[in-house]
Amino acid sequence: MPIASASTATIPRRRVILEDDIDGFTPAQLLLLQSPEVEVLGISVVSGNIWRDEALAHTRRLLEIAGRGEVPVLPGPVFPLLNSELATERWEALYGKLLWKGAWTRQWVEHDTVQSAPRYHAHDVVPDLPLGNPTVVQAASEPAALFMIRKVREFPGEVSIVATGPLTNLALAQRLDPEFASLAKELVYMGGSLNPRQRRDSVSAAQFAREFVNSPRREFNIRWDPEAASIVMRAPWRRMVMVPVDPSTATELTPQLLARMSAADTPIGHALRRREPGFPMWDELATAVWLRPELATVSETLYVDTNTEFGAGYGDILSWAPGYQPGLGEQAQQVVREVDVDAIEQLLVERLTAPQPPALGAPLPA
């Protein structure tokens, strides 16, 4: 693990569990893995952008390249609680095409999309990874939900959960242990959408705006498993922070930013040079805001829930100003509306170019 500096060695490290559907070599997780003031207790993995088993492989390989083989990798469920590929196809027949369906995406609706086409395959298929397959780091046998319950009970009030994928694991943990949410320190999650607008002029930004310009309350992490999202949003967290799509429209993993982040002659730097540019920094905002709360420059308190009725708004975000909520279990959340983009970029560059432990496993492919 990174060596703590003299200024951080005597300060208790912040405990966190990362929850994600990791689909590559992702700066969001690396930011916290490379932060000496953070103790990553584990990474729990769920289906979403890709299937769980493929996401497990990406997570294991990320930890090998980062030299963090001591961090447990916990498998979550393969499927959402209720939503399914067939139900999504039926929904599209009734209400129109979704821009992104994660592991259910067969091809882009618009063939001029600049991002790479997704690889559609069955849930039990794990393709070879672009950065090489993991050989040293293995996934634990303990289910992610049970691991999270165990850790919040081991360290009551001390464990933060930063979720940047669908919320299925957290919903299972809450249903298994009704005290789970109240024992955690906080939940910070990337998900949901309120009223985002396109704020960058790039082709990628315009193409990602295709969905929210017409469906401003729809966002993939929530839409993949709306029932899980509603369970989590109604749970009694001590503190809940929502990082929706809205602030991410001011961000982009440009080639220039990736060049700055990958400037170090380290395994992390070499791997980042192969990352595809053009994506908004959805997950990076969530991990950065958790690490440095002051980077959320504009926030508001809202009561938030998810529409679980199978209609045109299935999976959309519902929100109310305090006093207007229906009182069906919705909880107050800090909703991040704006972030300090320059400071977040600088933080990523600083941490991702810092020294790292020796990499594990096979060397990166030539």
Q: What is the 3-class SS of 261-313, one letter each residue?
A: HCCCCCHHHHHHCCCCCCCCCHHHHHHHHHHCHHHEEEEEEEEEEECCCCCCC
pLDDT at 118 over 90: no
What is the share, in percent, of the chain residues with pLDDT greater than 90? Answer: 95
Assign residue 102 a region (left: φ > 0; alpha: ψ between -120 and 50; beta: otherwise): left
Mean residue pLDDT of the chain comes to: 96
Residue 2 located in a structural domain: no
Domain at 57, CATH number: 3.90.245.10
Residue 33, H or E segment: helix 27-33
Domain around 314 = 14-352
Collapsing DSSP to helix, strand or coil, 318 comes out as: strand
Residue 366 located in a structural domain: no
Q: What's the pLDDT tens digit per position in 134-161?
A: 999 999 999 999 999 999 999 999 999 9
Closest CA to 319 of 299, 303, 335: 303
pLDDT at 2: 45
Structure-token match 């001590």, residue found: 238
Residue 43, H or E segment: strand 38-45
- The DSSP letter of residue 329 is S
Task: Please give the structure tokens belonging to residue 244.
Answer: 């929706």
Q: What gap in Å lies between CA 145 and CA 77, rounded to an integer? A: 9
CB atoms within 10 A of CB 327: 7
In one letter, which amino acid is 24?
G
Residue 316 located in a structural domain: yes
Residue 358 located in a structural domain: no
| Mean of pLDDT values over 200-227 | 96
Identify the bridge partners of residue 241 per DSSP, sorted by sequence position: 188, 334
| Mean of pLDDT values over 31-54 | 99
pLDDT at 9: 53
Radius of gyration of the chain from its Cα atoms, rounded to whole angstroms = 19
Residue 175 located in a structural domain: yes
Task: Please give the structure tokens belonging to residue 257.
Answer: 């930013």
pLDDT at 255 over 90: yes
| Mean of pLDDT values over 296-307 | 99
How many domains, the chain?
A: 1
- For the chain, the farthest-separated pair of C-alpha atoms sits apart, in whole angstroms, at 60
Q: What gap in Å lies between CA 339 and CA 298, rounded to an integer? A: 7
CB atoms within 10 A of CB 14: 17
Task: Please give the structure tokens belonging to residue 214.
Answer: 């017409």
Q: How confident is the model at residue 3 (pLDDT cuts 50, 70, 90)?
A: very low
CA neighbours closer than 13 Å in the CB half-sphere of residue 266 = 21
pLDDT at 117: 79
Q: What gap in Å lies between CA 293 and CA 127, rounded to an integer? A: 37
CA-to-CA separations, 252 to 27, 247, 256, 279, 295, in angstroms, rounded = 12, 11, 10, 5, 16
The torsion angles phi and psi of 10, rounded to 5 degrees, stand at -100, 0
The torsion angles phi and psi of 82, rounded to 5 degrees, stand at -135, -40
Closest CA to 103 of 168, 174, 178, 179: 168
pLDDT at 1 over 50: no
Q: How confident is the model at residue 343 (pLDDT cuts 50, 70, 90)?
A: very high
| Mean of pLDDT values over 206-217 | 94
CA-to-CA separations, 4 to 27, 35, 59, 288, 349, in angstroms, rounded = 20, 9, 24, 19, 18
Residue 261 located in a structural domain: yes
Do residues 271 and 200 lie in contact, with contact meaning Cβ atoms separated by under 8 Å? Answer: no
The torsion angles phi and psi of 22, rounded to 5 degrees, stand at -55, 125
Of residues 112 and 57, the one with the higher pLDDT is 57
Q: What's the pLDDT tens digit per position in 54-94?
A: 999 999 999 999 999 999 999 999 999 999 999 999 999 99
Residue 357 located in a structural domain: no
Assign residue 96 a region (left: φ > 0; alpha: ψ between -120 and 50; beta: otherwise): left
